Amino acid sequence: MAVEICVKAAVGAPNVLGDCPFCQRALLTLEEKSIPYKIHLINVSDKPQWFLEANPEGKVPVIKLEDKWIPDSDVIVGLIEEKYPNPPLSTPPGVASVGSKIFSSFVKFLKSKDPSDGSEQALLDELKALDEHLKAHGPYVNGGNISAVDLSLAPKLYHLDVALGHFKGWKVPESLSHVNNYMKLLFSRESFEKTKAAKEYVIAGWEPKVNA
C-alpha cells in the first residue's frame, strides 16, 4: 500500500504543490528513499472535512502510515527512516543541528523593516557558520552523502534564496562559496526538482507575512 501524504497546496492554485518547506522536507525524504506515495494537496485556507477529521490540528504535512495519520515533519522523517531504512538518511547527532537557526534568522530579516536592527548580520553569522562547516566536512553536512539534515535545510535555503531575492534584492554573498555550492548541489537533485514549489508560489506564500 502506497504511503499517503497531505501537503500544502499553492496559494490561489489548489491543484498545484504549495510552498511549505516542512512538506517539501517530508516529500524529499520519500523521494530519496524511492518510496511510492500518493499526495493530497490541502488548501490551507479551506481545509476539507475529511482532512480535519483525520488530523484535528489541521497542520501539514501529515502522513498516513499503517492506517494512522501522523503530523509533524520531524516525527514523519523519523518514522520513514525507521520503516524504510535504505538508503539510510539519519544524521549523526553531532551534526544534526548544523544550520538549525538559519530559517528563523531568515524569517526575522525578511520581515524586518529596520535596516539597523541586526537581523541581516544575524543571518549572515548563521550562513558563515554553515559555510565553515561545509568547508571542513562538505559537500553535504555529513560529508559525501546526503542525509536528513540536508533534506531539512534544502527547502529552507530555497525559500531564503527566492524570498530575499524578491522582497529585498538580497542574495547569499559570493564570499560564502561553500554555501552557494551546497545550494546548487541540493537544488539540482532530481528529488528537489520534483518536490519544490514554483518561485511565484513561494513569493505568494510570504507576501502577507512581509506586508504584515
* Assigned domain for 195 exists: yes
Q: Which residues pair with 6 in a beta bridge?
A: 40, 62
* Strands, E assignment, 3-138: 3-10, 13-17, 37-42, 62-65, 68-71
* Assigned domain for 88 exists: no
Per the residue annotation, which of 5, 6, 17, 20 is the catalytic one? 20
pLDDT tens digit string along 87-115?
999 999 999 999 999 999 999 999 999 99
Whole-angstrom distance, CA of residue 2 vs CA of residue 61: 16
CATH classification of the domain holding 119: 1.20.1050.10
Domain that holds residue 39: 3-83
Give the three cell numbers for residue 120: 541581516
20 is catalytic: yes
* Same-domain status, 179 and 119: yes
User: How many CA atoms are closer than 13 Å to the CA of 2, on its beta-carbon side?
Assistant: 10
pTM, two decimals, is 0.96
* Assigned domain for 27 exists: yes
pLDDT tens digit string along 120-143?
999 999 999 999 999 999 999 999
Last residue of a domain, one of 34, 57, 83: 83
The structural domain count of the chain equals 2
Contact 60, 24 (CB under 8 A): no
